[in-house]
Chains A and B, each alone.
Chain A
Amino acid sequence: MHKTTVYRLGFAVLLLVSQFTNAAERVDYLRDIKPVLTERCYACHGALQQQGGLRLDTVSLMKQGGDRGPAIVAGKSSESILIDHLLGKPGARRMPPKGEGEPLKPDEIARIRAWIDQGATGPADEKPEPDPRDHWAFKVPVRPPLPRLKNTAGIRNPIDAFLAREHENLGLRPQPEADRRVLLRRLYLDLIGLPPTLEEQQAFLADPSPRAYEKVVERLLSSKQYGERWGRHWMDIWRYSDWWGLGDEVRNSQKHIWHWRDWILDSLNADKGYDQMIREMLAADELYPTDTDRLRATGYLARQYFKFNRNTWLEEVVEHTSKAFLGLTMNCTKCHDHKYDPFSQEDFYRFRAFFEPYQVRTDMVPGISDYEKDGIPRVFDCNLDAPTYVFVRGDERQPRKSKSIKPGLPALLAPRGVSIQPVSLPAEAYYPGLRPHVVDTLASDLQNLHTAAQAQLAQARKQLAALEQASKVTAQNPVKQADPLLLKEDFARLLPDRWETREGKWTHSGGKLVQEQIGASRGVLRLRSPVPRDFQATLRFTPTGGQTWKSVGITFDAGPAGEVLVYLSAYAGGAKLQVAYKQQSGEYVYPPEATQPREVKLGVAQELTLRIRDRLLNVAVGGKHALAYHLPIARREGAVELITYDARAEFHSFELRSLPADAQLTPAGKGGSSTVQTVAQARAAVILAEKTLARLAGELASLKARAAADRARYQNPPASDAPQRIAEAVRAEREVAVLVAEEALARAELEANQAKITAAKQQLEIARKNRNAPGGEYTPIRGSLKTLESNLESEASRNKPFPTTSTGRRSALAQWLTAADNPLTARVAVNHIWARHFGQPLVATVFDFGRKGAAPTHPELLDWLAVELRENNWSMKHLHRLIVTSAAYRRSSSTRGATDNLARDPENRYLWRMNAQRMQSEVIRDSLLHLAGNLDLTMGGPSIPITQESRRRSLYFVHSHNDQHKFLSIFDNANVLDCYRRAESIIPQQALALSNSRQTQEAAEQIARRLLGQAGLTTDEAFIRAAFETVLATTPTEAEQKACREALAEWRKAMGKTTPPAANGGQLTEIDVPLGRALVLALLNHNDFVTIR
């Protein structure tokens, strides 16, 4: 088979070659050959690698050849082993090797052949591929000297100097500074993500100071909203995602991951250095093991959690850590050596090894012990010896176990290697139970439960007293026999004038009435005669089959408007007694307090008795009281029916009586029903409440004893009384076990469940015996909950103690990343920051600074800024200040009058103007709320569910794989999987969202109301002007004024308004709210509302 293919391939090649020779077509090396070799061969036979000692990146290197001699022999393709390898001839391994690439196409091989036969000529000055070590991004940036300029007019800072030199060279004439209002709006939206209000605009326009602009810059940079705006940018890059999963189960990211978001915001607002932020995100648990504030930073790694596949999880950590901080595509090396950059496949796994030991846990926060409610998700080194293996071709099913991979970095980037020192952790870090707030929180929880239990006991005592009193009364007035029978039916025959068969398959044979229809449908037998309002009914029946539900019972008040159902279900998933009712809406309600698990078996006869007085329903099963329930809906006129649902059943008898006025019904408890009905039960309930109270007191004592033992034991050196404290803690905990068993027994006795009583007695005996056994260990106070490592982890391994040391791997990685001689970190950060200010990065491939990535448009500027960042304590605010005060930043984004520039640099690579940007989704929504005066500026805290109405800033909404805010997602909110740059789409759905959503319409109305509340805005013209200034921060041109006036006139007509007569010679009319709203809404839909000009 394989041979045939080769043969065919050879044949095709021959054909093509002959075509070439016939046509005597000249093959051009640079046009026809080199691109193919570059794409297909250089990765292994070029500057990066020289497999077999061979390089193919110049003609002379090909002729020179490798270990097996020359690759090509000029003029003789048949003697050139290159061809043999391309064809995979016998004895020559096919190139590229199987699994690393498809063979070259026959016509490509034919051309190479023809080129060799034509003499294998190439350019005389052909240079080999550059050495990867010479790649610009792999060399440490040094501060370039500032350029000398002929003309320094308009230069505000070094940024401008670098750009001006290029402008001079290219003959570009930069656009003038933007209009002051446009500039102010740009600055506000850029730095805090909110537009300036009309008042803020006016204040700025009125400020005569030459430093008016700089003053605004300082104010905005020091406002809290700066952290929210730029925090969101970094959340994009660092892949912020709230948790998602099924129900409560976390599958990706972590609950309460918002603590990491708040850390980002706090850090930015405090102007924490970028280097410090990286160190804290990657390794706060090693560097600051007891600093809860900083531990929040490791949310960066906690977010990567993926329950189902640890490899996927770690691969994402490698991919995105290298992309976000280093601008490297390490992910390409998961399966094979990098095709462009000097990284081997093993480098991928070395990088992974930094992260191999880490896992995630949630530390308790003061005051809240329930990890579902709050807690700080953070990482820690859990499996210190977890091995890392190379996966053959990236396939996790094929680990190469012969070699365990140690953490390390690509040699070219870290020539000195990386030094890893294990970190010995303080006890509070690996034993969070020692943190005082943990014990306090647990104690206060127990105290609260104790208080509640005291109240419960008081309540139980009161109920006992009441029932004892009632029983005395009952004894004096014995229950009168119920009223005489209204109906006694034994179903000897099915009397059609008594019963109406409405649904189902009712048959009568052998003296038995049977309903036979099963599946998702009802059987209904309706009693034709009317029934008293308060009645007592008893049904005897035997359920015999059904697919799933197997329900049989009685309905009353049945009619078109509703019904009440009482039935027994033999459902295998949980047999029960159920009371249900139909609401006016037509929906059925199955109240949990009217549900009672019960044994209902097929083939076993049942007796169901209902007693109803007004809305109080008593149900007895087998003659014993089972449930008291107060119907939450009003009684109605209606029929009584015998019903089945997905049940086959035999019906034995049915009796109906009216309910005597003095019949004693059991009152429904607080939740509608109660299990306590008799004096004996009430006594048992009191005992249970006492036992609960005792157990809680015991737990409190145990907690205190264990905390004391912990303190003694983990002191350095351990306290001398530690053994005694430990013994006390053990004893206290065993005492709790006894109390727990006593409580369980009391509960079983209340339920009168014999099986449970027996079990509880046994348990109690064991606990008592155990109480005085010597030695033993107490349960540690955890103070932290480890997240399941994966769907395979057992509870036991989940609860093993946290290690007392950390490997130090991640802190070593963080130190290298932030070292002064790291060539990439500062450049990558600067590029991200620049891209967000200017709408265009300096390096277009923001996550790939490797050799396949784009070259910087302004290499010297990039390096100057990188060094500037590094030398100013990595202060981002310093960089922002520098950028936004440059002349480049202040330019107009218009291309008007710049025909020459457009011809020379249509893409504005050289920044002769500013770039307009579309607002990000969050900025759009926040701006709407802000201009309407409705924005709630509360900072931080748990993420807001997307279903909830909120006036807070958009970054606080839950944002995850599963949950995306509808309005925000239409405007390209961040992709949680990877978002190094936001998309800026323009689609019709955006138009619909902006014109039709309640969000925009309400904002329009509120803005209009605010404007109308201002004096002097009564003319169309004045209103239009103010609306333009508020919404768009520009003044309208005459043409725009005219368009708006005409639209207002049309609206007036459409809304049926009469134009008041003109007064004062002007066109004085009265703008009202609907008109104002219509105009403002149109402006909110203006292109320049969602555009940062």
Chain B
Amino acid sequence: MLRDCSCRGMHRRAFLADLGMGFTGLALGALLAQEGIVRGGSVTGHVPPDGKPHFPPKAKSVIWLFMNGGVSHLESFDPKPMLNKYAGKTISETPYKDVQDPEKLKLARVVVVNDANGQQRNRLYPLQVGFKKRGKAGIEISDWFPHIGECSEDLAVIRSMYTTDDNHGAQTQFHSGRHMLDGEFPTLGAWVHYGLGTLNKNLPQFISMGRREYWNAKDGHYLGPQHDAVPLRIDPNNPLDFGKPERPTSRDEQRIGFDLVDRLNQLRAVEYPDDPALTARIRSYELAFRMQTSIPDILNFSQETEETRKLYGLDEAPTREFGMQLLAARRLVERGVRFIQIQHGAGGAGVWDAHGGLRTNHANNARAVDKPIAGLLKDLKRLGLLKETIVLFATEFGRTPGSQGSDGRDHHIYGFSVWMAGGGIKGGIVHGATDEIGFHAEEHRHYVTDIHATILHQLGLDSRRLEIPGRKRLDIDHGKVITQILA
């Protein structure tokens, strides 16, 4: 693939200034823009981002929570009593038969022809859980999410999302904004990484947690692999690929080695001056060396109080795994990491994919995430971090108002819910609406890139100014800022 992000034209003066500053002296200023480069095609006229926002930002960091498989909007954040009233009736027998207007259904862009899933489900299935007005804002949220409900005053619930891939490629679509058949495009985290500088030279600025085997495991794509998220496993013994020597080596011994590598590389610049790759490699070794300690430090939860650990549910089996990821996320945000992408429940198409047994499935999955997420929101808030951190709760699509089999719901792309909190997002509001049976997003319809636009806007970035020559972006890629939810 031709990568267009070139640093061939890296300024000679900047290069010379870096030389001779030594391993430690190199860092700060020089590291701000990027820790790596990619060579390949040559580009004229394009100025890569300088690491500064385009306009004053409202938020510094993003915690992106993604529920794999498709959370039922109908049993989480978008109650539809009419489903109970007309339960068991086919849609055509209800007053809402026009939701199946073929024109409206054309939104779906099919990847798997004649898939057993992603079909119309006609017989309305009643709500499998109760709803209550919750928290200070009194937003209706289901009984499976009582803890998140307590935080309602901080949430902007968006009930009018739609997407177009009726299969789980919609996971990729939510992250990159493009349908799977369009090819591979950078994800939002990669754009943020490309656009903004670092706040902490010891840590990567874009981190991903949770398994992502179903959809593409890369982020940078045409921006280059240096904009891929650094995967972080919440396993204090092995938090980072090749994160510590696989054969025992003392820290001192390793430090001497890194110092020698640095010194030899600097010396090589005598023979090969003006080599931007050499400069970039010297820098990459510095960050690498620091990551070996900074990453395990992040996972040292013993620095947290018992009360905090409980807040995230670390004391109970069902919530422990996700809770640890969220606690790590808070510790990363605290240290200035920009974008933390967390996948809940990978494996197969994603654990939330309740084609059958929805009640048990969603009850169990909600149990695993509800308390940790609420814990994260509360913890960020009391530390004053929520002001500058956007938390997003998202999923690839909702689930059908009609039943699949006897006790499931199928994929549903025409209307579903996500929510955001913090980072200059207005709390305690509900934005947009689906129709009476939760079929189509009707009021304030939003495609997934509207979420991207809103997040970029809060971070002070204009996606049009990030564009790379030769990589044409469409209007739909940029999305529209959801101004109604901005504080």
Chain A residues proximal to chain B, CB less than 8 Å: 102, 308-309, 312, 397, 547, 790-792, 844-847, 893-896, 902, 906-907, 916, 918, 962, 966, 970, 972, 975, 977-981, 983-993, 995-998, 1001-1002, 1037, 1039-1040, 1043-1044, 1047, 1050-1051, 1054-1055, 1078-1079, 1081-1083, 1085-1088, 1091, 1093
Cα separation A521 to B183 with both chains bound (whole Å): 45
Whether A916 pairs with B277 at a CB distance below 8 angstroms is yes
Whether B246 pairs with A791 at a CB distance below 8 angstroms is no
Q: B93-101, B156-164, B253-261, B425-433: which one contacts chain A?
A: B253-261
Whether B9 pairs with A308 at a CB distance below 8 angstroms is no
Residues of B within 8 A of A1037 (CB): 267, 270-271
Residues of A within 8 A of B9 (CB): 906-907
Q: A985-B38, A1050-B256, A1082-B264 are in contact. List 13 more A-B contacts (CB 8 A).
A: A894-B271, A895-B274, A995-B254, A995-B261, A1002-B247, A1043-B264, A1043-B267, A1047-B263, A1082-B257, A1082-B260, A1087-B278, A1091-B277, A1093-B272
**What is the CB-to-nearest-CB distance from B107 to chain A, in angstroms, rounded to a whole number?**
12
Which residue of A845, A894, A1043 contacts B272 across the interface (Cβ within 8 Å)?
A: A894
**What is the CB-to-nearest-CB distance from A868 to chain B, in angstroms, rounded to a whole number?**
26
B29-65 vs A, CB cutoff 8 Å, 1 = contact: the mask equals: 0000001111111100000000000000000000000
Which residue of B38, B267, B272 contacts A893 across the interface (Cβ within 8 Å)?
A: B272
Residues of A within 8 A of B265 (CB): 1086-1087
Whether B280 pairs with A986 at a CB distance below 8 angstroms is yes
Which residue of B38, B41, B225, B278 contacts A844 across the interface (Cβ within 8 Å)?
A: B41
Q: B287-295, B301-309, B332-340: which one contacts chain A?
A: B287-295
Residues of A within 8 A of B285 (CB): 988, 991, 1085
Cα separation A743 to B113 with both chains bound (whole Å): 41
Cα separation A1047 to B40 with both chains bound (whole Å): 35
Whether A791 pairs with B264 at a CB distance below 8 angstroms is no
B113-142 vs A, CB cutoff 8 Å, 1 = contact: the mask equals: 111000000000000000000000000000
Residues of A within 8 A of B252 (CB): 1054
Q: Please tell me if B367 contacts chain A, counting CB pairs below 8 Å.
A: no
Whether A1047 pairs with B114 at a CB distance below 8 angstroms is no
Residues of A within 8 A of B230 (CB): 988-989
Interface of A (DSSP majority class): loop
Residues of B within 8 A of A918 (CB): 39, 277
Residues of B within 8 A of A984 (CB): 38-40, 277
**What is the CB-to-nearest-CB distance from B12 to chain A, in angstroms, rounded to a whole number?**
8
Residues of A within 8 A of B475 (CB): 102
Q: Please tell me if B360 contacts chain A, counting CB pairs below 8 Å.
A: yes
**What is the CB-to-nearest-CB distance from B250 to chain A, in angstroms, rounded to a whole number?**
6
Cα separation A1051 to B114 with both chains bound (whole Å): 65
Cα separation A980 to B40 with both chains bound (whole Å): 11
Whether B277 pairs with A791 at a CB distance below 8 angstroms is no
Residues of B within 8 A of A980 (CB): 1-2
Q: Please tell me if B147 contacts chain A, counting CB pairs below 8 Å.
A: no
Q: Please tell me if B181 contacts chain A, counting CB pairs below 8 Å.
A: yes
**What is the CB-to-nearest-CB distance from A744 to chain B, in angstroms, rounded to a whole number?**
32
Given contacts A308-B112, A894-B272, A988-B284, contact A1001 B246 (CB under 8 A): yes
Given contacts A896-B273, A972-B225, A977-B183, contact A989 B261 (CB under 8 A): no
Q: B20-28, B80-88, B237-245, B453-461: which one contacts chain A?
A: B237-245
Cα separation A847 to B264 with both chains bound (whole Å): 38
Residues of A within 8 A of B90 (CB): none
Q: Please tell me if B465 contacts chain A, counting CB pairs below 8 Å.
A: no
Nearest B residue (CB) for A547:
B360
Give the residues from 148 to 206 in chain B that come closer than 8 angstroms, CB to CB, to chain A: 181, 183-184, 204
Cα separation A962 to B230 with both chains bound (whole Å): 18
Residues of A within 8 A of B247 (CB): 998, 1001-1002
Whether B204 pairs with A1047 at a CB distance below 8 angstroms is no
Given contacts A983-B3, A997-B246, A1086-B265, contact A988 B37 (CB under 8 A): no
Whether A991 pairs with B253 at a CB distance below 8 angstroms is no
With most chain B CB atoms within 10 A of its CB, the pick from A102, A893, A977, A1085 is: A1085
Whether A987 pairs with B253 at a CB distance below 8 angstroms is no
Whether A978 pairs with B267 at a CB distance below 8 angstroms is no
Size band of the interface chain B makes with A: 35 or more
Given contacts A896-B272, A983-B3, A992-B288, contact A309 B281 (CB under 8 A): no
* 27 A–B contacts from the bound complex (CB under 8 Å): A312-B181, A845-B2, A846-B2, A894-B271, A970-B241, A970-B242, A980-B1, A985-B38, A985-B226, A986-B280, A988-B35, A988-B36, A988-B287, A989-B241, A991-B284, A995-B245, A1002-B247, A1037-B270, A1037-B271, A1043-B264, A1044-B264, A1047-B260, A1054-B256, A1055-B250, A1085-B285, A1087-B278, A1087-B281
Given contacts A916-B272, A1078-B256, A1085-B257, contact A992 B240 (CB under 8 A): yes
Which residue of A895, A981, A996, A1054 contacts B243 across the interface (Cβ within 8 Å)?
A: A996
Whether B111 pairs with A916 at a CB distance below 8 angstroms is no
Which residue of A308, A979, A989, A1047 contacts B111 across the interface (Cβ within 8 Å)?
A: A308
Residues of B within 8 A of A987 (CB): 35-36, 225-226, 284
Residues of B within 8 A of A1001 (CB): 245-247, 249
Chain B residues proximal to chain A, CB less than 8 Å: 1-3, 8-9, 12, 35-42, 106, 110-115, 181, 183-184, 204, 213, 224-226, 230, 240-247, 249-250, 252-254, 256-261, 263-265, 267-268, 270-275, 277-278, 280-282, 284-285, 287-289, 291-292, 360, 475
Cα separation A821 to B264 with both chains bound (whole Å): 53
Residues of B within 8 A of A1081 (CB): 257
Whether B242 pairs with A997 at a CB distance below 8 angstroms is yes
Cα separation A1043 to B271 with both chains bound (whole Å): 16
**What is the CB-to-nearest-CB distance from A620 to chain B, in angstroms, rounded to a whole number?**
34
Which 9 residue pairs of A and B lie closest in terms of their CB atoms, listed nearest first?
Answer: A991-B288, A988-B288, A1047-B260, A998-B246, A992-B242, A308-B112, A986-B280, A1054-B252, A988-B287
Residues of A within 8 A of B282 (CB): 1087
Residues of A within 8 A of B277 (CB): 916, 918, 984, 986, 1087, 1091
Residues of A within 8 A of B272 (CB): 893-896, 916, 1093
Residues of B within 8 A of A981 (CB): 1-3, 40-41
Cα separation A1079 to B39 with both chains bound (whole Å): 29
Residues of B within 8 A of A896 (CB): 271-273
Cα separation A72 to B148 with both chains bound (whole Å): 63
Cα separation A1083 to B261 with both chains bound (whole Å): 7
Which residue of A844, A979, A996 contacts B246 across the interface (Cβ within 8 Å)?
A: A996
Nearest B residue (CB) for A315:
B181
Nearest A residue (CB) for B271:
A894
Nearest A residue (CB) for B37:
A986
**What is the CB-to-nearest-CB distance from A522 to chain B, in angstroms, rounded to a whole number?**
16
Residues of B within 8 A of A894 (CB): 271-273
Cα separation A1054 to B37 with both chains bound (whole Å): 34
Residues of B within 8 A of A1043 (CB): 260, 263-264, 267
Nearest A residue (CB) for B2:
A981
Nearest A residue (CB) for B280:
A986
Whether B1 pairs with A966 at a CB distance below 8 angstroms is no
Cα separation A669 to B247 with both chains bound (whole Å): 46
Whether A309 pairs with B113 at a CB distance below 8 angstroms is yes
**What is the CB-to-nearest-CB distance from B216 to chain A, in angstroms, rounded to a whole number?**
8
Given contacts A308-B112, A906-B9, contact A1078 B257 (CB under 8 A): yes
Given contacts A894-B272, A992-B240, A997-B246, contact A975 B36 (CB under 8 A): no
Residues of A within 8 A of B287 (CB): 988, 991
**What is the CB-to-nearest-CB distance from A1036 to chain B, in angstroms, rounded to a whole number?**
9
Whether A791 pairs with B241 at a CB distance below 8 angstroms is no
Whether A791 pairs with B114 at a CB distance below 8 angstroms is yes
Residues of B within 8 A of A995 (CB): 242, 245, 254, 257-258, 261, 288
**What is the CB-to-nearest-CB distance from B178 to chain A, in angstroms, rounded to a whole number?**
13
**What is the CB-to-nearest-CB distance from A211 to chain B, in angstroms, rounded to a whole number?**
28
Whether A1039 pairs with B113 at a CB distance below 8 angstroms is no
Cα separation A849 to B179 with both chains bound (whole Å): 28
Residues of A within 8 A of B254 (CB): 995
Residues of A within 8 A of B291 (CB): 988, 992
